[in-house]
Amino acid sequence: MAGMVEVKHLTKYYGNFLAIENVSFEVKKGEIVGFLGPNGAGKTTTMRIITGFLPPSSGTAAVAGYDLVDKSRQARAHIGYLPETVPLYTDMTVEGYLSFMGTIRGMNPKRIKARIADVIDSCRLGDYRKSDIGKLSKGFRQRVGIAQAVLHEPDVLILDEPTIGIDPIQVVETRALIKDLAGTHTVILSTHILPEVSMLCSRVLIINEGLIVAEDTPKELANRLQGVERLEVEIQGPRIEVMGVLEKIRGVLEVACSPNGSDQNVYKIQARRGLDLRPTVSRAVISNGWSLLNLQLVSMSLEEIFLKLTTSEEINV
């Protein structure tokens, strides 16, 4: 079966500014894909094109088989969108706003009523259905945003930074809500937050400066990008000499150490992949008469991988 979301060679210019370039990806039914990238990477731009709010300069986007330009209305019927800033009407009640959103989407009154009851329940807004949106906390407003996104029972949810700017407890609850919704929807969510991706997503797309630089499961991404082995060693010995010896060990690519003024320092060693340098390093330390205080292999965190991907010049994954 074709992907639920199909994005092909999308490019978007704002005037002369190239915001995204040749972005292609596919999301299959039921997948939860994380769209990860630093500020200005092009996440929102891509999402606005997929949701039909912005025309691409070139390339195509289709949802549920409907092109966002040629068959915009049909495509949008399958999409629920939580924008970066939800245009909520602060003087409406939660219920009133949802009813209004249902009406402008052309849902019939009976269905609107039934769906409002459902989404108020699933988004845990029961205590606030008659509250003015303007009086809700940021976290609850975000839930109203999610409630409007799922109101018309779309197949695909596009959530632009769903947990940004809300307090930690609400973040946990919002993630739980997204996890629930993921059971019955195909989801694309954008975020800066790496643990969020590991927690929620089955696949990650990393975007940087308008280009997709990597695509994989969070776990595979961590494995695949680990081009180097890293070792952290605490040594008691004269720093300059220790550095010199470590750097000369075969297979060592780089040694880093922030001096702390004493002769007891932590050295971070990068070695060629597949090379366990622990025996060689420990022997070198001992044979020079220094003390080996600690030695451990360090695996790269998703944070470091992300930084590597979005700052490194030689990206070849």
Ligand X SMILES: Nc1ncnc2c1ncn2[C@@H]1O[C@H](COP(=O)(O)OP(=O)(O)OP(=O)(O)O)[C@@H](O)[C@H]1O
Q: What residues line the site for ligand X (CB under 6 A)?
A: 14, 17, 19, 37, 39-45, 84
Among residues 7, 37, 41, 44, the one that binds Mg ion under rule CB under 5 A: 44
Closest distance between ligand X and the C-beta of residue 24, in Å? 17
Closest distance between ligand X and the C-beta of residue 209, in Å? 8
Closest distance between ligand X and the C-beta of residue 265, in Å? 37
Closer CB to ligand X, 36 or 281, in the complex: 36
41 binds, among ligand X, Mg ion, none (CB under 5 to 8 A by kind): ligand X
153 binds, among ligand X, Mg ion, none (CB under 5 to 8 A by kind): none
Stretch that binds Mg ion, among 37-45, 60-68, 134-142, 213-221 (CB under 5 A): 37-45
Closest distance between ligand X and the C-beta of residue 35, in Å? 8
Please give the single-letter amino acid code of residue 122.
S
Q: Which residue from 37, 27, 60 is spatially nearest to 158, judged by alpha carbons?
A: 27
Closest distance between Mg ion and the C-beta of residue 44, in Å? 3
42 binds, among ligand X, Mg ion, none (CB under 5 to 8 A by kind): ligand X
Closer CB to ligand X, 84 or 234, in the complex: 84
Closest distance between ligand X and the C-beta of residue 20, in Å? 7
37 binds, among Mg ion, ligand X, none (CB under 5 to 8 A by kind): ligand X
Q: Which residue from 177, 216, 221, 220 is spatially nearest to 200, judged by alpha carbons?
A: 177
13 binds, among Mg ion, ligand X, none (CB under 5 to 8 A by kind): none
Residues that bind Mg ion (CB under 5 A): 43-44
